[in-house]
Amino acid sequence: MELMPIIRPTLPEFREFEELVRPSWEEGQVTTGRIGRAFEEEVCRLIGAREAVSMSSCTAGLMLAAQALELPAGAEVIVPSFTFAATAQALVWNGLVPVFCDCLPDTLTLDPADVERNLTSRTAAICAAYVYGLPPDIDALTKVGERHGIPVYFDSAQGLGAEYQGRKAGAFGQCEIFSLSPTKVVTAVEGGVICTGDARLAARLRSMRDYGKDPHKGEDMVHLGLSARMSELHAAVGLLSLRRLDELVKARRQLIEVYRARLGALPGCHVQSVPPERSSSGNYFVLFITARARAGRDAVYAGLAARGIVAVVMGYLLLRAVANFDPREAREIGGSLRVLSQSPGGPLLMGIVALGLISYGAAMWAVAIARRPA
């Protein structure tokens, strides 16, 4: 049985890739060269950011961003409970304390009111996340930061191509960190990119992705850094993919609208809310299946699998429930955690199935099983 994957990387034609990368390959300039610079320039052109700094991964970018913002060791950083683990892992690697706050049940993004309730004298920053490609309430979060003199930055891993109030994601907060992994709308096969309007922060990040080297005296180290450079090969894939950004986002949004129309109104099911001032990148479509549905999440998942349609029981564990974020284990991972998001159950613990965006066959079958008699 041929499988319908949940997602296929949107890769450029190999011929295009080969033509672009061949000169660098023959010259032996295979990292931080002209293609990497062209990639960063194209990111800035497309999204209106002043600076773009490519990385080997989004996670490396999150780690270096926290370091480059010069957040004091042991300080607290507000993060959503509902996000991928790397949002908080990057902080723990830096000796910072993730403070988990609630997310809104309709958009699944960070609740600004709960952020404000949980600020303390130790709070050094707010890191909000795009969820399934949807921006959080950026204005409300940045206003919280401004009122309290706290920097706000964004884990925008799934957000490249999203919009907020008519502006492309990438120009908000102190910086935004995007992923270019194979599951993202725009991929470099592997990689990430940090966008910022702060030239000094960008210069620090460029040094830090290359071990922290002095840009003028390469043998000297002026920052604590990593080996997090993006190769010319990955930059070439990313550059070619970027040129199709609007086309790729449009195609995903069209498929999601089919899913939303056919599935969102089914009894016991609902979909992520998208406020009018925001547009998702379309990175994922998720269907929430509650106890009131005629078929449970696991039944839908099993039925899809039996027909070769790959789905994922999705939704990230609430991070306070992830083993290595248990406060009792904090010493073993190099930091302490303050857990403040204690709301019981509710929408974030409902069953979620993410369906493939490459066709609407999965949606059509899910409609059929959800409508069958109980």
What is the rounded CA–CA span in Å between residue 187 and residue 335? Answer: 33
Helix axes 232-242, 34-47, angle to 10 degrees: 30
Counts of helices then strands in the chain (DSSP H, E): 11, 15
Domain residue extents for the chain = 14-244, 246-371
Kindly give the confidence (pLDDT) of every residue in the chain, 374 residues in length, as a single tens digit, with 9 standing for 90 and above.
888 877 788 899 999 999 999 999 999 999 989 999 999 999 999 999 999 999 999 999 999 999 999 999 999 999 998 899 999 999 999 999 999 999 998 999 999 999 999 999 999 999 999 999 999 999 999 999 999 999 999 999 999 999 999 999 999 999 999 999 999 999 999 999 999 999 999 999 999 999 999 988 878 999 999 999 999 999 999 999 999 999 999 999 998 998 899 888 889 998 999 999 999 999 988 888 888 888 888 888 888 889 888 887 765 545 555 545 554 333 233 333 333 333 332 222 234 455 444 433 444 444 444 444 43
Q: What contacts 11, CB < 8 A, 6 or more positions away?
A: 187, 189, 237, 241
What is the rounded CA–CA span in Å between residue 81 and residue 348? Answer: 10
Maximal CA-CA distance, the chain = 72
Residue 177: name the closest of 41, 31, 32, 59 by CA: 59
Phi first, then psi, for residue 19 (nearest 5°) are -65, -40
CB 64 within 8 A of CB 55: yes
Residue with tokens 């106890």: 291
What is the four-CA torsion angle of 67, 73, 79, 83, rounded to 10 degrees? 60
The domain defined by 246-371 folds into Aspartate Aminotransferase, domain 1 (3.90.1150)
CB 311 within 8 A of CB 354: yes
Start-end of H helices in the chain? 14-27, 34-47, 58-68, 86-93, 112-117, 138-148, 199-208, 232-242, 245-263, 297-306, 361-371
What is the CATH number assigned to the segment(s) 14-244? 3.40.640.10
Report DSSP letters for 117-161, one per residue: HT--TTEEEEEEE-BTTB---HHHHHHHHHHHT--EEEE-TT-TT
CB 120 within 8 A of CB 94: no
Its pTM surpasses 0.85: yes
CB 176 within 8 A of CB 166: no
What is the rounded CA–CA span in Å between residue 197 and residue 77? Answer: 21
